[in-house]
Structures are given as structure tokens and as C-alpha cells.
Structure 1
């Protein structure tokens, strides 16, 4: 029987042997596992101003006066093993607060609209945003759309144009149709507005509708036109009314407009008018041909003319004979 020391040594040697046998497959499996960086997709974000400086910017932010040219850089990183070709263009971006063709996306010019980024490389693409000389001061938003293969990324771009802020709005195209008031709000300023509306309608005998100012669930961008409606369920059956809308917003922006509406119960009036016309027609017919009156004779024919002439001659002869006897 081997001593206890020898048995422990044998067991230790077997454990080491088993570890050695299990190590190569584990190592091979590790080699076969792809690197996360190796399989990661390309990315696009604002470039930093220095080594690791502003790489964490979530979007571009530029500020300048009308007529200025603003510059920045877009960074496209390709961690994969193959080159990637991407295309760049300016867009309005999600939730952009500017009309098509009037925001920073339309004013953007990249140094290259198509860029090929080598494997495991980062490329910085310069671009400029030229603010038109007649641009209205205020905030604008857009994006840089980057597309490569089946992947598409939008990097936000926010622009603040310097100058005095002007808040102005108007109410237009007020009409009443059925039980609904239609109107259009227009932002005439250069700031985003959150409007409030007050409604009043007056008839011939007093106020028919009165609603105090309340916030509308909309936000008006500079230059935006928005058609809205206001319900009016208790419209009068017969009245002539004046509807007045007053809209206000922060910055002393306000607008007011009126419309006139006439409410007539057309169904009863139409039925009454038809009955009246029928009565008038019946009365006229009865007046022209009363009961017991013989029908009017037609025009006399040739025989009737001859009979009339014979009667006339006979009357003449009788008159002559009476004169001779006298």
C-alpha cells in the first residue's frame, strides 16, 4: 500500500493533467469568439475639438447672426474589418422647427457628400452652415442624415440665429359651419408660440356663447399656418350672430377676428313656403274660373260668321220694312 503522501501526489498530477487537456479547447473557443469591436456597426456623431475633447456631444449646436458662415465637423467611426462608404445630406430632422427649405439642414454644405472610411478608422468630415442674410432671428433645428448600406443615422443640428425676438400672430379665415367654428392661426414672429384662445358669440338678443381664455394643445413654429376648429353644440335655431375669436401668446402676441353667421330653420320654412305657394295657386285658379261660370267659348268658325251675317241682314230688312210702313 503506497504511503499517503504518494497518493496525494498522484491525485495532484491527475488534476494538472485534466486542466492541461481542457485548456486548449477553451483557448480555441476564445479565439473563435468574435470581438465586440470587430463586429460593431459604424457610428456618426459630432466630432470633438481635440483628443477626446467633446466626443460626447449628443448633437451640433451653432449660433450666429444672419449672413454668417458657421463651421463644424462630423465624425464617422468604422470599427469593422472592411471599409464603409457613407453618404451625407442635410435634412429637416425629427421635430424640426422650421419649414422645408428654410432651416439649417437646407443651409448645410459638407466637404464631401460621400465618404469611404477604412476599417478600424475614424473620418472627420467638415461642413458649413450659411445663414441667409435675411433670416429671421430665432431658433431653428435640423439634422445631418448619414446612410451607409442598410444603416441610417441622423445627427441633430440646432441653430440659434441672433437678433431681437419678435412674438406675433394673427387669426384668419374664421367661418361657422353647422355646429363648428373654423379658423386659422398664423405665427408672424420668429419665436415658437403656445397660444391661448377665448371665444364669444353674440346674437340679436344677447350673448349665446362665452368661453374664457384657455391653452390650445399646439405649438406654432415661426411662419407656420395651422387650421383649427372650435365646437359649438348649442347653436341657435333662428338668429343672426357675430362670432369673435381672440388668441394670445407669450411676448404680447395677440390676434382677433370675427365672423357673422345666420341660423335659419330651413326645413320648417321650406315646408311652409310650399304650402303657401300651393294655396296661392289654388286661389288663382278659383278666381279665374268661379263655380257655375260656363267655359269660355272658342273662336268662331266659318259657319258661325255666316250665321252672324244672316242675322245682321235679317235685322236690316226688318228695319227697312218698319220704316216703309211708317
Structure 2
């Protein structure tokens, strides 16, 4: 049985489809095709499919597939749920992964489409939202796929090309981001009086039902808010789908070893509405504490104390020895005086 893999390069092309206005294109030698949105009542030259539908509702639309190669193409057509990759890009589940939303609700007119060289074909599809669908945002995609054998490697290679589908199911929208697992680590300098570097790590969790990104800021301070330091720049988060998490690691330079540090992460959530307008929500913040002990200085103080203690001990020991010698000398003198007196009387 042949092994199977998805060609990553075209998965990246699929990601770009939802972000740029130009049609997505897949090319490999004589195999080349593009996908784009159809011009209809939803608009022309759309970069992706975007709908607002109430539970129980449905919407019909069309994707256009064009063959720019020299041979006919037999492409599979299917839908899949989306997810945010570790690089912050949108990707779609592969066919062997189980979708739960758009990948189930979107159905194309057929599971296969044949496109002749130099021709284009309309691929109609329907998005039917269940009556019990939870309100909020969903992201997925409608995909065209070409699977070919790679004789040299003995595997089947799937090249995917598709268009993002964003769906907002009607009902109460409750955007919510939380900051979790916040902690700070400190690395002091060799100079006992210098400043070191801190690393602040936390997880942003989208616990609401809307797609959200966020502006970020990170700051540090010592006891009573003294010796403040801030991260020079923190990149905004990618758009996180409901339920997704994103781990953030922020370096902060020039941090004084204040013994006890307070690290504060601040987020300004951003929500985009159906018209494409972005709204900033109330900021949220979380604080955690960590140690920033100047170990070099501590070692210096310990050594200094040890030296002082040694000097005191040696000084006292010297005094005791001198006193003992003086006492012995006095005792010997007394003995000699007594002997001399006894010799005179005898």
C-alpha cells in the first residue's frame, strides 16, 4: 500500500487565498490550476467566502476552477474545518481528520470536477447551518485536490488548493480572551551591579465564540512598582478561532535584579465584524511574580561576610592567645618571686 502525504507548499497557497485578492494558483510542471470566488450577488473579486447565517439557514455560492495546464484535470472537491498553525497561519484539516462545522455543513455539487485545458468550471456549493448550531464564528474552506503518485519516493502526493470560508452564525456574540500560565524567568549578568534579561511566557486562550486577535504589551517591575522595564515590541497575535490557544514568549532586556519581580501581560482584544471593520475591546491584564536575585552580588556579600567573620575570629583568637601567654608569664614571674623569697628566708 502506498504511503500518503499532503504537499505542504500548496497548503500554504491555500492559506494565502483567504488573505489576498488574487486567485490562488497551483503549478507543478504541466499541472496548473487556479481557484477563485464567483461574481454574483455576494460581490465580485472577493478574496474569500464570508457569510452571516442564522441557525437553520443556508446559503448558496460558487467557486470557479480554471485549468491552465495542457491536460485535463480530475480534481476532488471537499470542505474542511480550519485551524491556526504554529506559525500563525490558517490551514485546513486534511481529509483523514474529522471536521465538525464548516467541513460538515458545506456540500459541493459533486465530489469530483473535471476541467479541460484552458477552460474553467463553476463548482456550486451550499452551506446549511443546523438548527442547533452554536452562535459565533467558524472558519473552514472549500478545497480542490489532486492526488498523484510519486514513483521515486513510492508515495501518493496530494496537492490542495482552496478558498477560505468564514461563517458567523447568528445569536449572541461573546468575544473573550484569557491569559493563562503566566510566569517569568530571570537571567542575571556577571556584573553584580548590572542589569539582566527576563523572559515572560504566557498562553492566550480564546474562550469566547468570536474570532479574535490582540495587541500585546509586557512590563516588569520590582517591589512597590520600582525599577520598571518594558518589552521593546511585542507582535500582535494571529487571529485565533474560538477555543484555540496561542503561546507567547517575550524577552525583556535591561531588567534590574530587584529580588522579586512582578510581570504584567496586557492584551487589547480586536474583533472584526461582518463588514470588515475592526473594534478594540476593553483591555485585560494578568500578573505573576518571580525571583530576580543578583546571585553574583549575593556571592560577593557572602564572601565579604565570611572574610569579616574570619577576621573577627582570628582577632579574638589572637587576643586569647596573647592573654594566655601573658597569664603564663605572670604566673611564672610569681613562681620565681616566691622561690626567691623562700631562698632568702632559708
TM class by shorter-chain length? 0.5 to 0.7
- Contact 1:138–1:163, Cα closer than 8 Å, also in 2: no
- Contact 1:96–1:140, Cα closer than 8 Å, also in 2: no
Deviation at 1:172, TM superposition (A): 1.6
User: Is residue 227 from structure 1 mapped to residue 247 from structure 2 by the alignment?
Assistant: yes
Q: Which residue of 2 aligns with 1:258?
A: 287
Aligned residues: 248
Counterpart CA distance in 2 for 1:215 and 1:126 is 43
Which has the bigger relative contact order, CA under 8 A and spacing at least 6?
A: 2
Q: Which residue of 1 aligns with 2:129?
A: 131
Give me the CA root mean square deviation: 5.0
Counterpart CA distance in 2 for 1:147 and 1:195 is 37
- Contact 1:171–1:256, Cα closer than 8 Å, also in 2: yes
Deviation at 1:176, TM superposition (A): 0.9
Counterpart CA distance in 2 for 1:56 and 1:251 is 28
User: Is residue 207 from structure 1 mapped to residue 205 from structure 2 by the alignment?
Assistant: no
In structure 1, the gaps of 5 or more residues are: 1-38, 292-326
Matches within 5 A, 1:47-126: 59-74=48-63, 84-91=73-80, 92=82, 96=90, 101=99, 104-105=102-103, 107-116=105-114, 125-126=123-124
Q: Which residue of 1 aligns with 2:146?
A: 147
- Contact 1:66–1:137, Cα closer than 8 Å, also in 2: no
Deviation at 1:137, TM superposition (A): 1.7
Counterpart CA distance in 1 for 2:65 and 2:136 is 31
Counterpart CA distance in 2 for 1:81 and 1:212 is 54
- The normalised TM-score by structure 2 is 0.52
Matches within 5 A, 1:231-250: 231-249=251-269, 250=279
Counterpart CA distance in 2 for 1:80 and 1:201 is 58
Counterpart CA distance in 1 for 2:68 and 2:259 is 75
Change (3 A) 1:131 1:228: same
In structure 2, the gaps of 5 or more residues are: 1-29, 149-157, 187-197, 270-278, 322-346
- Contact 1:44–1:146, Cα closer than 8 Å, also in 2: no
Q: Which residue of 1 aligns with 2:22?
A: none
Deviation at 1:256, TM superposition (A): 1.9
Deviation at 1:177, TM superposition (A): 0.9
- The normalised TM-score by structure 1 is 0.54
Matches within 5 A, 1:276-315: none
- Contact 2:229–2:254, Cα closer than 8 Å, also in 1: no
Instruction: Give the secondary structure class of the aligned counterpart of 1:234.
Output: strand
Higher strand share: 2
- Contact 1:170–1:254, Cα closer than 8 Å, also in 2: no
Indicate the structure (1 or 2) with the bigger Cα radius of gyration. 1
User: Is residue 157 from structure 1 mapped to residue 161 from structure 2 by the alignment?
Assistant: no
